[in-house]
Amino acid sequence: MTTAWHNARSGHWWARWFNTSIYQSGRLAVLLVLCAVLAVQLSDPLPARLIRARVFDFYQQTRPRPVPKESPVVIIDIDEKSLVEQGQFPWPRTVVADLVTRATELGVEAIGFDIMFAEEDQTSIAKVAARTATLDSATRANLMQAPSNDKLLADAIAASGKVVLAQNSTDQAREDKGEPPLTSYAALGGDAAPYLEKNTSILRPLAVLDDAAAGRGIISLSKENYDGIVRQVPMAVSVGDGIYPALSLEMLRVKLGAKTITLKTDAVAGGISEISIRPVRSRERNLVKTDTSAQIWVYFRPHQTFAANYVSATDLLNGRVAKERLAGKFALVGTSASGLLDLRSTPLDPVLPGVEVHANILENIIFSTQLTRPPPAHLMEWAITFIVGMIMIIITPMVGARAGAMTFLAMAGGMVWYSWSEFSAHLELYDPTFPIAVALLFYSYLTYTGYAREEAQRRQVRSAFGQYLSPALVEKLAEDPSKLVLGGENREMTFMFSDVRGFTAISEMFDAQGLTRLINRLLTPLTNAILSTNGTIDKYMGDCVMAFWNAPLDVEDHAAAAARSALRMVEAVNSVNAALEQEAQQAGRPHKPLAIGIGINSGVACVGNMGSDQRFDYSVLGDAVNLASRLESQSKSYGVTIVMGENSAKDVRNFALLELDLIQVKGKKQAARIFTLAGDEATAGTGWFKELRTNHDAALAAYRARQWDEADARLAVCRKTATAQTGLVTELCGFYTVLAERIATFRTHPPAVDWDGVYVATSK
């Protein structure tokens, strides 16, 4: 204990960190976890590989390979059209022979088949004659002398000298049918076979076709495509003592006229470092970038951009393809017909003809656009995981959760930026996910342990001072005092008061429990209407609701939000009344419908924590708040449901808004122009409402100009229009009655000479 205290006092940061962190923050356990995580990363488990692959998929989806100006690859497609014209597949080998001959005549540089010819053609004349029992022996003997379709195809292949046939590597044991023709390999740096993907056997073409072909290539995909999405394709595989090239690599060799494919190994990198092809009598090498197991990461372009690369097989057979479409091109023969089941999934396309994968690889190699995952990438990611893990272990407890989060975000952003920039600039793949996940894990754990430690400290404070201070003071001492300060801020806001009219008469119809249920039944939909427009409930005062908008969070167009909320509240009251009326009829008791009054006003008010040191609420104070309360109380006097102040009305001019009066409410010296809300924007756009507003405004203008006859005439038109409608518009008839009564009074008792049209309210 003395030594630890001395080290802490000595001023060495490492000593202070060790003594205050290893034992207090659980960093020792985290260091052990870090070691375990690093060991897991070195083993590269399947979940990590899958997440890494999905990240690289996202990169391709965000930035797919650009479409070349002129592609050197053409796909001879056995499509639906070809099946219709040439018949079901597989076709007789004579048709395939015609396809090879025709493509060769049009000048293709290499023909690669993404189709296996592993079985004999059963449509050969000799095969058919042997199966036909009705033939006489002489005829059968003559037909048996006819060359087989396979021999005719082999002749076409040999004549072309450019055909690469497909073969497949498999883990299933197969009967050895003799020594297959092998492509010549040259090994630089050591034997390449141990680094290649290994398989048990090869599914080969027929021997007669195999011997005639200029090359043969593997069409099987990588075992790394564990989720069914093609990302990697082996450029060479090892089967027994032989090494077999991929279809695309073999086509490139045949096209260049090279005899040998060179595999260069590097013991430091731990595998294949380079694959190259050098044509005869040439010093230039054509490089293929792969990973250490000779697999290429395919950089795809979208399937729809390959439309110009496709040539229908039947068009080629029938002479409908121009020579320039094929001359000098790599020709891949495959199928896109859905019934032939040669469909694949790629990072860009969920369904893609398998032959197009090989087309992408050829373009990758020719244009040097293949993706690469450099040999040191895994080690580099491991080192980054160690570094960011140590940073989070050291920094988070020292600087706290917020600064720790900023540190984490900065490191995560840096790793993502580096990974993306290497992809976009150099087509190199680096995985940021594992280091980010480790940093997040340690940040979360250390933040949690820090929080748990603070909670323990608070419990210690409560235990230590509980006997000397009141519980309230103890809690204040344990918590952050800065959150308890009083005060607020001035904000432009909109306020609403809503009250039930005639509540006293309604309350006489229910007992205490029934009245409580009734109020709750009403306040629930009213509250939902307010909250649905981002309003804040300030308080409930019996049957009254106070709410405001634009605090504590900003609400865009808060006056319009309050107006929309008021309209929804009216609809909610109507729904409640309908249900209550039905219940009253079933119970055989009288029903008195509920009615509310709503006051809305906008203005600047002080909002914040208000009250005493012991108790406070988040509320508002200000003259604009008081006016909203006064407007609610005036709704009954004017015979309408919603009364709105002028400041709010300016912001909801597109609603169905009508001016009511110039009123001097009790406690105010200045007159306020007030309005009523009769509907939303849809109502405001109707022809009848536009006509109503015109007559309504004219009636008010005549009233203030003391033109009583004109005002009465206009009011009669307005009352007729309002009577023909429903809801809030019909309520205007009550207002028109109030205004007509004033006019009748002014006829007998004219207002003062200096009367300015202001009505002075005598009650709140």
Identify the DSSP state of 502: T
How far is C-alpha 412 from the chain's CA centre? 19
pLDDT of residue 482: 40
More confident residue, 282 or 95: 95
The rounded distance, in Å, linking the Cα atoms of 16 and 8 is 5
The rounded distance, in Å, linking the Cα atoms of 580 and 604 is 39
Mean pLDDT of 14-30: 50
Q: What contacts 1, CB < 8 A, 6 or more positions away?
A: none
pLDDT of residue 221: 83
Residue the block writes with tokens 């003799």: 178
pLDDT of residue 588: 83
Structural contact between residues 369 and 65, judged by C-beta atoms closer than 8 angstroms: yes
Check pLDDT > 60 for residue 232: yes
The amino acid sitting at 401 is: A
Best CA proximity match to 309, nearest among 351, 355, 341 = 355
Check pLDDT > 80 for residue 214: yes
Mean pLDDT of 557-563: 96
Residue 411 CA neighbour count, 13 Å, CB half: 24
pTM of the model as a whole:
0.58
Sign for the CA dihedral angle at 332, 333, 337, 339 comes to negative
Mean pLDDT of 261-282: 84
The rounded percent of the chain whose pLDDT value lies above 70 is: 89
For residue range 24-80, what is the model confidence (pLDDT) as tens digits? Answer: 445 677 788 888 888 888 888 888 889 999 999 999 999 999 999 999 999 999 999
Best CA proximity match to 635, nearest among 688, 685, 596 = 596
Per-residue pLDDT band for 310 (boundaries 50, 70, 90) equals very high
pLDDT of residue 518: 87
Which one is the CATH code of 485-652: 3.30.465.10, 3.30.1360.10, 3.90.320.10, 3.30.70.1230?
A: 3.30.70.1230
**Cis peptide bond prior to 552, omega within 30° of 0:** yes
Report the DSSP beta bridge partners of residue 605. Answer: 491
pLDDT of residue 458: 66
Q: Is 322 exposed, middle or buried (0-12, 13-18, 19+ CB in 10 A)?
A: exposed
Q: What contacts 516, CB < 8 A, 6 or more positions away?
A: none
Q: What's the chain's average pLDDT?
A: 85
Q: Is 542 exposed, middle or buried (0-12, 13-18, 19+ CB in 10 A)?
A: exposed
Mean pLDDT of 721-725: 93
Per-residue pLDDT band for 177 (boundaries 50, 70, 90) equals low
Check pLDDT > 50 for residue 305: yes
Check pLDDT > 90 for residue 338: no
The rounded distance, in Å, linking the Cα atoms of 696 and 712 is 11
Structural contact between residues 258 and 280, judged by C-beta atoms closer than 8 angstroms: yes
Report the DSSP beta bridge partners of residue 78. Answer: 335
Best CA proximity match to 299, nearest among 234, 338, 348 = 348
Check pLDDT > 50 for residue 416: yes
pLDDT of residue 690: 95
Residue 295 CA neighbour count, 13 Å, CB half: 19
How many residues are there in the chain? 764
pLDDT of residue 657: 97
Identify the DSSP state of 172: S
Structural contact between residues 355 and 140, judged by C-beta atoms closer than 8 angstroms: no
Report the DSSP beta bridge partners of residue 201. Answer: 170
Mean pLDDT of 462-490: 50
Check pLDDT > 80 for residue 612: no
The rounded distance, in Å, linking the Cα atoms of 334 and 346 is 17
pLDDT of residue 760: 84
Check pLDDT > 70 for residue 437: yes
Check pLDDT > 50 for residue 468: no
For 439, 446, 645, the CA distances from 386, given in Å and listed in that order, are 9, 16, 64
Q: Provide the 3-class DSSP secondary structure of residue 631.
A: helix
pLDDT of residue 285: 74
More confident residue, 14 or 41: 41
Per-residue pLDDT band for 315 (boundaries 50, 70, 90) equals very high
Best CA proximity match to 639, nearest among 609, 601, 676, 671 = 676
For residue range 647-697, what is the model confidence (pLDDT) as tens digits? Answer: 999 999 999 999 999 998 877 778 899 999 999 999 999 999 999 999 999
What angle do the packed helices 728-748 and 687-704 form, to 10 degrees?
20
For residue range 536-556, what is the model confidence (pLDDT) as tens digits? Answer: 888 888 889 999 998 877 789
Best CA proximity match to 593, nearest among 515, 726, 672, 502 = 502
Residue 761 CA neighbour count, 13 Å, CB half: 26
Mean pLDDT of 327-337: 93
Identify the DSSP state of 658: E
Per-residue pLDDT band for 614 (boundaries 50, 70, 90) equals low
The rounded distance, in Å, linking the Cα atoms of 253 and 258 is 5
User: Which tokens hold the place of 587?
Assistant: 């119970």
Q: Phi and psi dihedrals of 609, rounded to 5?
A: -80, 120
Per-residue pLDDT band for 487 (boundaries 50, 70, 90) equals low
Element (H, E) at 659: strand 656-664
Structural contact between residues 530 and 545, judged by C-beta atoms closer than 8 angstroms: yes
Element (H, E) at 577: helix 558-587
Degrees, nearest 5: CA angle 492-493-494:
145
- In 665-727, which ranges are continuous DSSP H helix? 681-684, 687-704, 708-723
More confident residue, 6 or 39: 39
Q: Which of 70-74, 128-132, 271-275, 625-629 has the weakest average pLDDT?
A: 128-132
The rounded distance, in Å, linking the Cα atoms of 737 and 716 is 10
